[in-house]
Structure 1
Amino acid sequence: MGDPPVKRYRRGEPQEEEEAKLSDLEDPHYTPYVPVRDRKLERLTKLGAKLYNSKKTNNDSSDSEKDEEKSGDEEDPQALARKENISLLDQHTELKRIAEARKESAFEKQLKEEEKILESVAEKRALMGVAELAKGIQYADPIKTSWKPPRHILAQPEARNERVRKKHCILVEGDEVPPPIKHFEEMKFPKILIRAMSKKGIVKPSPIQIQGIPTVLSGRDLIGIAFTGSGKTLVFVLPLIMFCLEQEHKLPFNKDEGPYGLIICPSRELARQTFEIVTYYCNYLREEGFPEIRACLAMGGVQVNEAVDVIRKGVHIMIATPGRLMDMLDKKIVKLDVCRYLTMDEADRMIDLGFEEDIRTIFSYFKAQRQTLLFSATMPKKIQNFARSALVQPITINVGRAGAASMNVIQEVEYVKTEAKMVYLLECLQKTGPPVLMFAEKKQDVDYIHEYLLLKGVEAVAIHGGKDQEERSKAVEAYKAGKKDVLVATDVASKGLDFPHIQHVINYDMPDDIENYVHRIGRTGRSGRTGLATTFINKMNDESVLLDLKHLLLESKQKVPHFLGTMQSENEKYLQLGDEKGCSYCGGLGHRITDCPKLEAVQSKAASNIGRRDYLASNATDY
């Protein structure tokens, strides 16, 4: 067989091919083929030029519009591809900056979420009396007083005042803040008062007193926040004594008249301590020929007759706990018609512990405007914002962070199993000499520790809410007098009490609330002295409280044990947003308000109470 025939094609002449190409180009519907890569490059170039021209023509537009265009361009991943002349290193830097911007927007989102939560839990009703709310009474201007700073202090420029505040770490908020004064003599106190203070070792004012006392003497409402042992009590006691002296000079108090000043304390021990401080200075004044300033103590466990005897003579200053004060007001034993000065010591604890309605009721007994002062070592933003509704143009004075531990306290945290705590107590007692203060959560544990120490030959006394007032008072007096070396107590002894020269605080239990921990360890390291605090923790403690403790130790530059250092919060990156540290609801540093266990517990309790009320109401209708 032969080879198959080869198919042949007729080739055109070169001239004919050129003519065909020209005819295609002349065709209006003809589109030449462009590769995909070239088409994308061309589109990106046109888009980049368009964006560049639009930005160039809109240079006079607002900053917000510029920011939106810039962020929109940056968020586009292809924006970098258009910049053909930028190196990879520069592109990496740009991408890093974009990532940081996105991170900041996540922080802003977190802050907005927290603001919504804080607003939802904030009390809507103002902290005012019922009559004032009903009549719409609002006071616009602070109370006027006759006190004025010395002329040379007033002549000082504001820059000098700011330097003094900065030097002593004093933060102030408010309008027309009085100047800080660094000496008691310049505050215009009588020499006898200054001598009485020097006998107690108080020679110069502390930071809270430098700014706080002039503010109170000026008649301004005040929120005072400072670490425990910083001298907050004198900030409201000394001006009150001066105001009462002035009133007694102008017009002596008659029988059944008064009080002019009211001090409310959350616990009996704190009320008695404040009463003793007031009495100490009033006695010194009387001995020097000044008019008698009468003070009375009204609290549970003390006979009402003792307070009634003073009230009948005409009382200037009354120190009371909320429950007893409410009872006396209800029975019309005491009236607040002439009361113009109100102090709430440990104010956040009173509001937080359920005395809020009692305080509203007490406010209703006032007949005119009063100067209101709130003091505490721990006062979260929630309480500050709520308390401002009761104040007129308030000034907030903050020495250090609200809820921060005293830098004069060395904090040691020990991992001790529950069954080994009692035995380890004796070892801890060897760290320092007496006096020593021990805290336990439960009354039963306080009794066990007390009995154990007595069996081991330790001179110890104990106080808790289950003991009667006489027994509690005797125990505290024996401890203060140095007759006993160890005081074992629940948190009734943790707030505001000033025990002399305590060397060591031992926390048998880590409290469920970091605020209580701060108050407990604040019983030592007072008035510039150094103290030691030892705390027992183990796996039984709540993780959120341990995280708060860890970050509190870090803030105070204390040694963090390994088992605490390894603990990490799920939202570690959100623990500090802007100027706000930790939780704005409870003040804990180890979490934010979005993860606050205390808020969750309060909301759960409120929800269960609502259900119970509805159930009881439905049963009531059946009968």
Structure 2
Amino acid sequence: MSPAEQPGPALKRARFAEEEKEPDWFTEQDDSYEEYIPLKKRRQMEEQETVKRSGAAAPHPAPVDAAAEPLLDDDGEEPQVKESLLVRTAKARKDQPMETDAQKRLREEQDMMRNITSRTALRGVKELATGVVYTRSMKTGWKPPLKLRQMSEDEHEQVRHGFHIITEGHNLPPPILSFKDMKFPAPVLQHLDEKGIKRPTPIQVQGLPAILAGRDLIGVAFTGSGKTLVFALPTIMQSLQEESRMPIMKGEGPLGLVVCPSRELARQTHEVIKGYTTALLQAGYPQLRSLLCIGGIDMRQQMDEVRNGVHMIVATPGRLKDLLAKKRLTLDLCSYLCLDEADRMVDLGFEEDMREILSYFKHQRQTLMFSATMPMKIKAFAESALVDPITVNVGRAGAANLDVIQEVEYVKQEAKLVYLLECLQKTAPPVLVFAEKTKDVDDIHEYLLIKGVEAVAVHGGKDQEDREQAIDSFKGGRKDVLVATDVASKGLDFPNIQHVINYDMPDEIENYVHRIGRTGRCGKTGIATTFINKNQSESILLDLKHLLKEAKQRIPPVLQVLHDPLGDLEEMAAASGQKGCAYCGGLGHRISECPKLELQTRQEAHKKKDYFGAGGFGGEM
């Protein structure tokens, strides 16, 4: 076969010829074909469409290819371009009014308070588990006098305004200006007169009628305003009424329970209750037995009193919880609960103890909470445990007693002991000296004894017997000076204290208010001297400065020169209705800069135990 007759190359040339020939489908035009538009051009078209919708002219549109025709849809109209999220966000921000810095900080504070107060309600575990919710207050047989019931609400409001009483709640009982109109028995009225109590204080004017009527109550008033009588007299009246109907048998009781954060305060409250029950017994009324249930006392002695039947118990959370857990005490008949210094119990970590104690109640109870400093975080938390509560507020919560003259002096740390002797000469004894640390209390006590001053000391490191002996000797006038930590600053009533000395400024402004409240009680005037130096934080000094300003006291130059970073404090306070910090009550800062909140947050973080590492299982056990 010749080379020309070989088929291979010829077939190859034919195949190439077919490939070089343009196919029919490439030359035909498809009706659905759309020309490709570059990304840059598409964005320009979208911007033009956005400007056209907003009704504004485009500032300087970029040149568009004039030869390019606009794309049309099937109806012959330009297609609608969808707005991007960025464009929508920009338009939304443009429509919203500008938020000021004060409004922004106020919104942040509201979010913080919402997170803080959204904790579990202060109710018993069984109530929370079963969903038990009480909607009606307790009913008692007490009614105000007819002449007061016939008065209009405007007349009652005028009385409250005259005593600077601020109330919140529905169906408020009328304020009553005499103990006789409150229908107390004659022996109680006589005992009040013997103690020099002629007429009720503002907190008693509104608080006593509310509690006698069976309402749950939050009572806030400055130190020395007579809050103890507000919850002591109603529980005595309730116990007297129940004893008259059906006497308490052995092993029964209590009918009323008062919980205090410290042993000294519990003992003082018990003595007040015991004084009135003794007066009733001497006048021929039934015997009302009260029990002091605190640590440091032999439990067998307390159990003997419980076996005989008890009407009222004044207790600290630790010992009370111990007796309830061991089933040596029951709250089956208890329908009256008072938490004295309620904010302090929450700060001291008794919150879970109180929730456990509430679980031992078998039915509804009348719940009362009292304190001189009740920040918003405690108030919102307390309302979760109350049924249709009434809030009675005399003055701002956390404000200083206006009957106390506050003097603030700059004293170097090494000169404090020497200057303390000079300050003791301002007034006659008795004098209270407060210090933060137990070591400082012991050093001051030893120094005063060396200088011949009759002094005693009290702090948490001493035995209960020594603490009681020191306080009794100071109250009895056998000692001139009492040196103590804050254990003696909450609620204790020392008669005729003319001078309180703060050896150092406390870390929290609430403790300062409680300390100086040991003087200037029951309408008497007193002096409070406070030593400050560079060891104190600027935050607490700003709180002190605003507190002095509020009480119209002299502000020393060392505090006047402090720079106040809260220039918009008045504006924010007017917008929120809350002066200063809503968490701790300090006037020199807001909640976003609260050192107490920061400290407690740090402590709660340290309490969490991570047994598996890296934040895994077992975050809190």
TM-score range, shorter chain: 0.7 to 0.9
Aligned to 1:591: 589
Q: Greater CA deviation, 275-284 or 302-311?
A: 302-311
Q: For residue 198 of structure 1, report the CA deviation from its aligned partner.
A: 1.0
CA deviation profile, 1:371-430 (whole Å, cap 9, x unmatched): 000000001001100111100000000000000000000000010000000100000001
Q: For residue 570 of structure 1, report the CA deviation from its aligned partner.
A: 1.6
Aligned to 1:25: none
Q: For residue 152 of structure 1, report the CA deviation from its aligned partner.
A: 0.2
One-letter amino acid of the counterpart of residue 274, structure 1: T
| Selected match of 1:351 from 346, 352, 364 | 346
State TM-score, norm by structure 2.
0.82
Q: For residue 613 of structure 1, report the CA deviation from its aligned partner.
A: 5.7
One-letter amino acid of the counterpart of residue 577, structure 1: A
| Selected match of 1:582 from 575, 580, 583 | 580
Measured at CA, do residues 179 and 471 of structure 1 come closer, stay the same or move farther in structure 2, by a change above 3 Å?
same
Q: Secondary structure at the match of 2:432?
A: strand
Matched, 1:529 2:527: no
Aligned to 1:339: 334
Aligned to 1:397: 392
Preserved CA contact (<8 Å) 2:219 2:371 = yes
Matched, 1:465 2:460: yes
Q: For residue 112 of structure 1, report the CA deviation from its aligned partner.
A: 1.4
Q: Which structure 2 residues correspond to residues 140-539 of structure 1 after superposition, within 5 A?
A: 140-539=135-534
Preserved CA contact (<8 Å) 1:107 1:577 = no
Distance 2:541 2:270 in 1: 36
CA RMSD, Structure 1 to Structure 2 (Å): 2.0
Preserved CA contact (<8 Å) 1:340 1:368 = yes
Distance 2:212 2:381 in 1: 24
Preserved CA contact (<8 Å) 2:612 2:618 = no
Distance 1:539 1:251 in 2: 63
Q: For residue 106 of structure 1, report the CA deviation from its aligned partner.
A: 3.7
Q: Greater CA deviation, 572-581 or 378-387?
A: 572-581
Distance 1:169 1:532 in 2: 24
CA deviation profile, 1:78-133 (whole Å, cap 9, x unmatched): xxxxxxxxxxxxxxxxxxxxxxx978x44333221110011112242111100000
Q: Secondary structure at the match of 1:360?
A: helix
Q: For residue 608 of structure 1, report the CA deviation from its aligned partner.
A: 3.2
Distance 1:260 1:147 in 2: 17
Which ranges in structure 2 are unaligned for 5 or more consecutive residues?
1-55, 57-90
One-letter amino acid of the counterpart of residue 242, structure 1: M
CA deviation profile, 1:38-64 (whole Å, cap 9, x unmatched): xxxxxx9xxxxxxxxxxxxxxxxxxxx
State TM-score, norm by structure 1.
0.82
Q: Which structure 2 residues correspond to residues 548-567 of structure 1 after superposition, within 5 A?
A: 548-567=543-562
Q: Which structure 2 residues correspond to residues 85-96 of structure 1 after superposition, within 5 A?
A: none
Aligned to 2:107: 112
Query: % of aligned pairs identical?
Result: 58
Distance 1:500 1:418 in 2: 31
Distance 2:237 2:491 in 1: 23
Q: For residue 313 of structure 1, report the CA deviation from its aligned partner.
A: 1.1
CA deviation profile, 1:521-553 (whole Å, cap 9, x unmatched): 000000000000000000010110000000000
Q: Greater CA deviation, 473-482 or 611-620?
A: 611-620
CA deviation profile, 1:482-509 (whole Å, cap 9, x unmatched): 0000000000000000000001000001
CA deviation profile, 1:341-385 (whole Å, cap 9, x unmatched): 000000011011100000000000000000000000001001100
Q: Secondary structure at the match of 1:390?
A: coil
Q: Secondary structure at the match of 1:180?
A: coil
Aligned to 2:83: none
Q: Secondary structure at the match of 1:185?
A: coil
Distance 2:291 2:615 in 1: 43
Measured at CA, do residues 613 and 529 of structure 1 come closer, stay the same or move farther in structure 2, by a change above 3 Å?
farther
Distance 1:307 1:489 in 2: 28
Distance 2:609 2:569 in 1: 35
Distance 2:256 2:617 in 1: 47
Aligned to 1:604: 602
Q: Greater CA deviation, 409-418 or 305-314?
A: 305-314
More helix by share: 1
Preserved CA contact (<8 Å) 1:225 1:378 = yes
Aligned to 1:139: 134
Aligned to 2:47: none
Measured at CA, do residues 160 and 430 of structure 1 come closer, stay the same or move farther in structure 2, by a change above 3 Å?
same
Distance 2:222 2:301 in 1: 34
Distance 1:340 1:246 in 2: 13
One-letter amino acid of the counterpart of residue 584, structure 1: A
Please tell me whether Structure 1 or Structure 2 has the larger radius of gyration of its CA atoms: 2
Q: How many residues align?
A: 525
Distance 2:125 2:614 in 1: 28
Distance 1:550 1:531 in 2: 19
One-letter amino acid of the counterpart of residue 573, structure 2: L
